[in-house]
């Protein structure tokens, strides 16, 4: 790093305006929040109970009576089904939007700091790892409960449907062939309905900036695993559903004829075949072995979700499709917002190629953009690819600057190699020609992450990183140091950093955070220890092996602007209005369509009504939601125009000399993170010993353990945490597992 620049011109100057002080909420606000939270819980519990009871004969009969009673209403049967199964999740989303608006200044860690005395350590189901190995990797107790609930519903539904089928007695006096065909038909239909309920939840976890994920404070990188699990389950059910009918038609000797059938009244088979094939292709290419070997194939085939959803609506018609429409609509809201955000090009303030094979980008952002230290963004560089988007953790604290955001990118694949090569080539051309100006056209989605900074909820933290996994922890350390310097609420008092790297040339990454310039007196209030394990070197490099290295830095011409605030933890008021207006728009469009087209012209074709239903969903997002987005962008421009000062590119194009040292240990100089640092060569961290030592020294406290690294590292840490927690004595701490690793 440029030492002069770091000391006198902080790369990301701190600002208090981004995090204004908040007072105690009024009684009216507290009461309103309580009412909204109660309403969401009641709706959610009733909704889940209805879904669980639906396979029973009693619930089915009650639901059929409900459909008959509403058949002559404006929205008809479709409205009744939509209100029963999709309406609750949309109602929760609308209420959640209002809840986030009135809760936007809440900071739970402040409340914890204000409490007198020390709290006793508490068990938390969502931070207690119980399964640490296997196909699901690390699973917490809360996640295991969720898995058991979902699987319990599937088994209960199949069991209930089977009992109902056997109780009807319609299989009497039939031949074996007829019995087989009828059983396959009934079970195929029932599996299809179970799959639709699973599909209603499938799209919720991948709605990256969804108000629902923000409400329950589950970041996208965690929710992605739930989408993967639900995706496997949903496709297993839909595959069984499809093969049940295919085998039935084969038994009857009319397989090809039935597969090509497209009926106007009833289920259209051909669109179902197309939808199933699209889903099957997505499923196969998402399997771990295929995805890791050919990520581009996985990425491109996953765009077939549009075909999958559209032809599913054509297959089952509007009223059956409306069972899963709520979750799909919430995904549409998020997808349109991401599309609107990603159209903007973002200024790259500086691009640096570090000698350890890492690239640092500093991007321009508006003052109004909120994010937490554990956030990440999706990045596209158009000079490298027009289609590829890659996620990267933010390495800068939200308190470091009002107009900039930094990320560290490890060169690991073809795309990152091309990015580093572009910086080096542009620098070489710039040196050879004064007229050459490097160009980098960048688009951004995000930032995404936790709604509240949970790393500030612990007095004691253990940060476990593997390689470039240190990047988000640099943001955490910077965030804590800035809070100490500025006198902001800050709970952490003890921090242990465990960093495993392959070679010692990665050590200078720590120097990207200048502790002396941020908070030189932090040792009075914060104890930081760093243990570094260099796994592929048995001893420190000798004097002859250490060479001086240069940081290649350019200031590219982006012709862009600030990052957009449309996605992530952005403005709660505008994002709330977007959800509310779009949902109302859907109801209005469906009402107009029924009043002026479907009912007057007696439209009865199932597949056509399913198509119209999807068109209304898309139109409500684009027209009604698009209006809010347009006003939101105008408001953002108005706010940005009020900014004072010149925040243009102010980083000089320099080649920095990394000073030579007598040992790698001296790479951790006065600007490094720790007051006490140890480096061990040729060893891997033994987490059983590390947690055991911490247990003896830190005592009866809650300890947050944050892990960012490969799955093997997460499993090792989770296994040690489970072992210590299960064998815990009353005077020892409770370790809380938090994974920050992101893998599509």
Summarised one tens digit per residue, pLDDT across range 646-685 is 444 444 444 444 444 444 444 444 444 445 778 888 889 9
pLDDT of residue 742: 66
CA distance 187 to 178: 14
Lookup: tokens for 265 = 């009244």
Higher per-residue confidence, 368 vs 275? 275
pLDDT tens digits for range 95-119 = 999 998 887 655 555 555 555 456 6
Confidence of residue 391 (pLDDT cuts 50, 70, 90): confident
Spacing of C-alpha 164 from chain mean position? 40
CA dist 175 and 652 (Å) reads 85
Asked whether 44 and 96 are in contact (CB, 8 A), the reply is no
Q: What is the pLDDT of residue 456?
A: 84
Q: What is the reported pLDDT for 4? A: 36
The predicted model gives 578-583 an average pLDDT of 94
Q: Is residue 398's pLDDT more than 90?
A: no
Tokens of 501: 């790297």
Percent of the chain with pLDDT over 70: 85
d(CA 165, CA 28): 54
Q: What is the 3-state secondary structure (H, E, C) of 438-486?
A: CECCEEEEEEECCCCCHHHHCCEEEEEEEHHHHHHHHHHHHHHHHHHHH
Residues 6+ apart with CB under 8 A from 91: 43
Angle between helices 176-202 and 141-168 (to 10 degrees): 150
* Region of poorest pLDDT, from 105-114, 468-477, 486-495: 105-114
Mean pLDDT of all residues belonging to the chain:
82
Between 693 and 221, residue with greater pLDDT: 693
Buried b (16+ CB within 10 A) or exposed e, 251-290: eeeeeeebeebeeeeebbbbbbbbbbebbbbbbebbeeee
Q: Which residue has the tokens 């329950």?
A: 216
Better pLDDT: 217 or 54: 54
Q: Residue 78 and residue 318: Cα distance in Å, rounded?
A: 6
CB contact burial 571-597 (16+ within 10 A = b; e otherwise) = bbebbbbbbbbbbebbbebbeebbeee
- Beta strands at 460-466 and 494-501: parallel, antiparallel or unpaired: parallel
Residue 313 has pLDDT above 90, yes or no: yes
Residue identified by tokens 């033994």 is 686
**Please, is 600 exposed, middle or buried when counting C-beta atoms within 10 Å of its C-beta (0-12, 13-18, 19+)?**
exposed
pLDDT in tens, 138-197: 899 999 999 999 999 999 999 999 888 877 766 677 788 888 888 899 999 999 999 999
Strand-pairing partners, residue 553, are: 352
Is the pLDDT score of 539 beyond 70?
yes
**CA pair distance 209, 337, nearest whole angstrom:** 9
CA–CA distance, 314 with 337 (Å, rounded to integer): 26
**What pLDDT is attached to residue 2?**
40
Higher pLDDT among residues 37 and 564, named by residue = 37
Q: How far apart are CA 48 and CA 46, in angstroms?
A: 6
Mean pLDDT in residue range 526-545: 78
Residue 614: is its pLDDT beyond 90?
A: yes
Quick one: pLDDT at residue 505?
A: 80
pLDDT tens digits, one per residue of 21-57: 444 567 888 899 999 999 999 999 999 999 999 999 8
**Per-residue pLDDT at 611 exceeds 90:** yes
Task: Tell which phi-psi region holds residue 645, choosing left (phi > 0), alpha (psi between -120 and 50) or beta.
Answer: left
Which pLDDT belongs to residue 51? 94
Cα angle vertex 47, ends 44, 52, to 5°?
125
pLDDT > 90: percent of the chain: 35
Q: Please give the structure tokens belonging to residue 589.
A: 């469009």
3-state DSSP assignment of residue 554: strand
pLDDT confidence of residue 404? 81
What does the pLDDT average to over 715-740? 89
Q: pLDDT value at position 108?
A: 56
pLDDT for 5: 37
Run of H or E residues at 153: helix 141-168
Residue 668: the pLDDT is 43
First to last CA, the chain: 31
């Amino acid at each position: 790093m440029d030492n002069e620049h770091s000391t006198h011109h902080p790369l990301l100057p701190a600002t208090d305006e981004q995090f204004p002080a908040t007072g105690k909420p009024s009684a009216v606000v507290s009461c309103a929040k309580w009412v909204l939270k109660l309403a969401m819980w009641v709706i959610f519990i009733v909704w889940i109970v209805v879904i669980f009871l639906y396979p029973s004969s009693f619930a089915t009969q009650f639901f059929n009576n409900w459909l008959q009673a509403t058949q002559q209403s404006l929205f008809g049967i479709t409205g009744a089904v939509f209100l029963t199964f999709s309406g609750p999740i949309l109602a929760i989303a609308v209420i959640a939007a209002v809840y986030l608006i009135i809760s936007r200044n809440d900071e739970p860690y402040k409340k914890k700091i204000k409490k007198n005395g020390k709290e006793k350590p508490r068990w938390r189901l969502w931070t207690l790892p119980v399964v640490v190995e296997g196909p699901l990797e690390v699973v917490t107790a809360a996640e295991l409960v969720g898995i058991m609930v979902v699987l319990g519903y599937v088994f209960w539904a199949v069991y209930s449907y089977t009992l109902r089928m056997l109780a009807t007695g319609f299989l009497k006096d039939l031949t074996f062939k007829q019995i087989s065909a009828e059983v396959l038909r009934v079970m195929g239909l029932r599996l299809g309905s179970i799959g639709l309920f699973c599909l209603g939840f499938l799209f919720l976890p991948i709605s990256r900036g969804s108000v629902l994920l923000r409400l329950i404070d589950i970041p996208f990188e965690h929710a992605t695993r739930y989408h993967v699990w639900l995706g496997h389950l949903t496709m297993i059910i839909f595959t069984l559903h499809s093969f049940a009918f295919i085998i039935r038609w084969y038994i009857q000797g009319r397989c090809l004829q039935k597969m090509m059938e497209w009926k106007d009244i009833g289920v259209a088979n051909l669109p179902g075949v197309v939808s199933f094939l699209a889903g099957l292709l997505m499923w196969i290419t998402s399997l771990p072995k295929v995805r890791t070997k050919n990520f581009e194939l996985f990425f491109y085939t996953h765009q077939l979700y549009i075909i999958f959803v559209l032809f599913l609506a054509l297959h089952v018609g509007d009223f059956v499709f409306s069972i899963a429409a709520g979750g799909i609509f919430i995904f549409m809201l998020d997808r349109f917002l991401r599309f609107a955000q990603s159209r903007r090009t973002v200024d790259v303030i500086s691009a640096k190629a570090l000698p350890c094979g890492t690239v640092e980008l500093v991007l321009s952002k508006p003052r109004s953009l909120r994010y937490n230290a554990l956030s990440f963004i999706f990045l596209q560089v158009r000079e490298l690819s027009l289609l590829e988007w890659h996620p990267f953790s933010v390495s800068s604290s939200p308190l470091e600057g009002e107009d900039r955001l930094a990320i560290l990118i490890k060169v690991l694949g073809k795309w990152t190699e091309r990015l580093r090569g572009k910086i080096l080539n542009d620098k070489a051309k710039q040196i050879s020609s004064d007229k050459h100006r490097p160009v980098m056209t960048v688009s951004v989605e995000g930032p995404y992450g936790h709604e509240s900074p949970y790393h500030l909820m612990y007095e004691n933290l253990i940060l476990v990183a593997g390689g470039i996994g240190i990047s988000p922890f640099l943001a955490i350390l910077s965030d804590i140091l800035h809070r100490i310097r500025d006198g902001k609420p800050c709970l952490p008092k003890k921090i242990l950093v465990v960093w495993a790297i392959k070679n010692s040339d990665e050590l200078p990454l720590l120097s990207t955070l200048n502790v002396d310039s941020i908070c030189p007196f932090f040792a009075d209030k914060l104890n930081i220890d760093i243990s570094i394990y260099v796994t592929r070197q048995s001893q420190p490099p000798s004097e002859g092996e250490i060479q001086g290295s240069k940081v290649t830095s350019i200031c590219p011409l982006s012709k862009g602007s600030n990052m957009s605030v449309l996605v992530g933890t952005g403005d709660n008021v505008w994002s709330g209005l977007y959800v509310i207006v779009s949902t109302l728009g859907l109801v209005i469009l469906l009402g107009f369509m029924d009043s002026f087209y479907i009912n007057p012209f007696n439209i009865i074709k199932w597949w056509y009504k399913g198509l119209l239903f999807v068109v209304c969903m898309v139109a409500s997002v684009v027209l009604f939601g698009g209006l809010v987005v347009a006003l939101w962008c105008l408001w953002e421009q108005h706010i940005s125009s009020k900014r004072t000062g010149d925040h243009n590119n102010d980083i000089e194009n320099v080649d920095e000399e990394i000073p030579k040292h007598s040992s790698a240990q001296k790479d951790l100089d006065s600007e490094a993170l720790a007051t006490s640092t140890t480096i061990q060569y040729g060893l891997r961290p033994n987490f059983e010993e590390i947690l055991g030592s911490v247990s003896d020294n830190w005592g009866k406290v809650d300890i947050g353990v944050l892990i960012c690294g490969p799955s093997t590292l997460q499993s090792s840490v989770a296994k040690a945490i489970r072992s210590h927690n299960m064998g815990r004595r009353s005077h020892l701490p409770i370790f809380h597992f938090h994974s920050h690793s992101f893998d599509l």
